[in-house]
C-alpha cells in the first residue's frame, strides 16, 4: 500500500483495482491513505479552502420518482407538498440578492407536469431578479424528463435553458452510476448510459457542471470505484466538471431505511476513505468538495484533512438533507467556516461557482 501511495504522489494514475484496495483499507492504514490524499491536495491546489456564497431555492417537493434513498420527494396530493409560483420564487431570488449570493440553486423534485417551458420560465424569473448570480440548476434527470414531456431533444432542451439564463448544470441524479444499484435505489431515474450522454452533451455545449456520488446505501466499494472511473473518463473527454461532491447517504427518513433494506448510512471511515480515494483517483478533477450538510461540521473539517479543498456553499436552506434526517444542514456561516479552516491552518477564500477566487 505504501509503495502504491508513493507512486500516486509521483504521478501514477490509479487503476480501478488499485483504488479498490485503498478504499478497503482498515485500521491505521486509513490514516496513511488520508495523509497521502492530503499531500496530493496540497501539491495540486495549495492550502486554500474555498466556499461559494449560494442559496438553495426549493420550487416543489412533488416528485414522480420517489427514490428509495430520498426523504424529500412526495407524490402529488400527499400531505406537506408544495409548489411555489413566480411571486414566491422571485421573492426568494430577491432575498438571495440581499444576501449577496453569487449562486442560486433552484432545486425541485421531478414534478410530473414540468416541461422545458416551465424550467425556462423559472430560470428566467430568477435571472430577472438577480442577473449577476450563476443559476445552477437542472440535473440530467430533469433535462431528460422535461425533454420527453415537451417532445424535444435533450440538446434542444439544454440550449433553451442556456438561452433562459442557466449558468451551470447540476451534476446530481448520478447517485451511483451502476445500473443494478440504480434499479435498487432509484428505478425510475434515467440509466447510467443516459446520464453520461446528457452530461457530455451539456459539456460539449460549453456548460460546466458539478459531479456527484451519493454513496453508502446498497452500493459497495467496487460500485463507488466504478462510478469514479466513469467520472474520470468523462473528464478526460470534456473537462466539464468543476468538482466532485461526495454525498454521504442520509438514511433516517428514507424508504430504504424504514423498510429495513439498509441498516444505516456510511460510517465515518467510509466517508473519510470516500474523500481520500476520490482525491487520489481523480487526477483530472482538482476540487473535492466536503459537503458539511451531509456529514456535519466536525466531519467536514476532517474531510479537509483527507483530500478535500472546498466546503461547498452557505446554502441558507436545504430541505433535501433535513427531510432525510440531516442535522446542521441548513446554513453554514462563513465565520464558522473560517473557524473550521483556521483550526487546521488553512486559509478560507470565497469563490464563484466555477472556482474563480473572489
- For ligand SF4, the binding residues (CB under 6 A) are 63, 65-67, 70, 72-73, 109-110, 186
Nearest to ligand SF4 of 36, 62 (CB atom)? 62
Contact 16, 226 (CB under 8 A): yes
Smallest distance, ligand SF4 to C-beta of residue 136, A: 16
Q: Which is nearer to ligand SF4, 102 or 157 (CB)?
A: 157
CB of 325 to ligand SF4, least distance (A): 14
Shortest CB 73 distance to ligand SF4, Å: 3
Q: Which of 105, 195, 181 is CA-nearest to residue 141?
A: 195
How many whole angstroms separate alpha carbon 92 and alpha carbon 87?
9
Nearer to ligand SF4 among residue 134 and residue 323 (C-beta):
323
Closest CA to 2 of 23, 32, 27: 32
Min dist. Cβ of residue 82 to ligand SF4 (A): 13
User: CB neighbours of 154 closer than 8 A, spacing ≥ 6?
Assistant: 143, 144, 147, 197, 198, 201
Cβ atoms of 124 and 172 within 8 Å: the answer is no
CA angle 73, 295, 241 (to 5 degrees): 75
State the Cα–Cα distance between residues 210 and 198, nearest whole angstrom. Answer: 13
Task: Select 37 or 67, whichever has its Cβ closest to ligand SF4.
Answer: 67
Q: Residue 210 or 341: which CB sits closer to ligand SF4?
A: 210
For residue 15 the three cell numbers come to 487503476
Pairing outcome for strands 209-215 and 241-248:
parallel
CB nearer ligand SF4, residue 35 or residue 65: 65
Cβ 71 to ligand SF4 shortest distance, Å = 8
Amino acid at each position: 500500500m505504501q509503495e502504491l501511495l508513493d507512486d500516486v504522489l509521483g504521478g501514477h494514475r490509479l487503476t480501478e483495482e488499485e483504488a479498490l484496495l485503498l478504499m478497503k483499507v482498515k485500521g491505521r492504514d486509513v490514516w496513511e491513505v488520508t495523509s497521502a490524499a492530503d499531500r496530493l491536495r496540497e501539491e495540486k491546489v495549495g492550502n486554500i479552502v474555498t466556499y461559494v456564497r449560494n442559496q438553495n431555492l426549493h420550487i416543489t417537493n412533488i416528485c414522480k420518482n420517489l427514490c428509495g434513498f430520498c426523504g424529500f420527494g412526495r407524490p402529488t396530493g400527499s400531505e406537506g407538498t408544495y409548489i411555489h409560483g413566480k411571486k414566491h420564487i422571485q421573492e426568494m431570488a430577491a432575498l438571495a440578492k440581499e444576501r449577496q449570493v453569487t449562486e442560486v440553486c433552484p432545486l425541485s423534485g421531478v414534478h410530473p407536469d414540468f416541461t422545458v417551458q416551465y424550467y425556462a420560465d423559472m430560470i428566467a424569473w430568477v435571472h430577472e431578479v438577480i442577473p449577476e448570480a450563476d443559476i445552477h440548476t437542472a440535473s440530467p434527470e430533469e433535462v431528460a424528463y422535461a425533454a420527453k414531456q415537451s417532445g424535444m431533444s435533450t440538446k434542444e432542451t439544454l440550449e433553451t435553458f442556456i438561452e433562459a439564463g442557466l449558468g451551470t448544470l447540476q451534476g446530481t441524479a448520478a447517485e451511483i452510476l451502476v445500473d443494478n444499484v440504480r434499479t435498487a435505489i432509484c428505478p425510475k431515474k434515467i440509466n447510467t448510459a443516459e446520464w453520461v450522454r446528457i452530461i457530455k452533451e451539456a459539456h460539449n455545449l460549453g456548460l460546466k457542471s458539478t459531479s456527484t456520488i451519493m454513496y453508502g446505501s446498497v452500493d459497495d466499494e467496487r460500485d463507488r470505484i466504478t462510478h469514479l472511473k466513469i467520472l474520470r473518463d468523462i473528464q478526460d473527454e470534456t473537462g466539464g466538471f468543476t468538482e466532485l461532491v461526495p454525498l454521504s447517504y442520509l438514511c433516517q427518513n428514507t424508504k430504504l431505511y424504514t423498510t429495513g433494506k439498509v441498516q444505516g448510512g456510511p460510517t465515518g471511515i467510509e466517508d473519510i476513505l470516500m474523500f481520500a480515494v476520490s482525491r487520489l483517483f481523480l487526477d483530472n478533477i482538482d476540487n473535492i468538495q466536503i459537503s458539511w450538510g451531509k456529514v456535519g461540521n466536525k466531519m467536514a473539517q476532517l474531510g479537509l484533512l483527507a483530500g478535500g479543498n472546498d466546503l461547498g456553499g452557505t446554502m441558507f436552506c436545504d430541505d433535501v438533507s433535513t427531510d432525510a434526517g440531516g442535522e446542521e444542514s441548513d446554513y453554514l456561516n462563513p465565520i464558522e467556516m473560517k473557524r473550521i479552516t483556521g483550526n487546521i491552518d488553512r486559509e478560507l477564500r470565497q469563490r464563484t461557482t466555477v472556482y474563480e477566487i473572489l
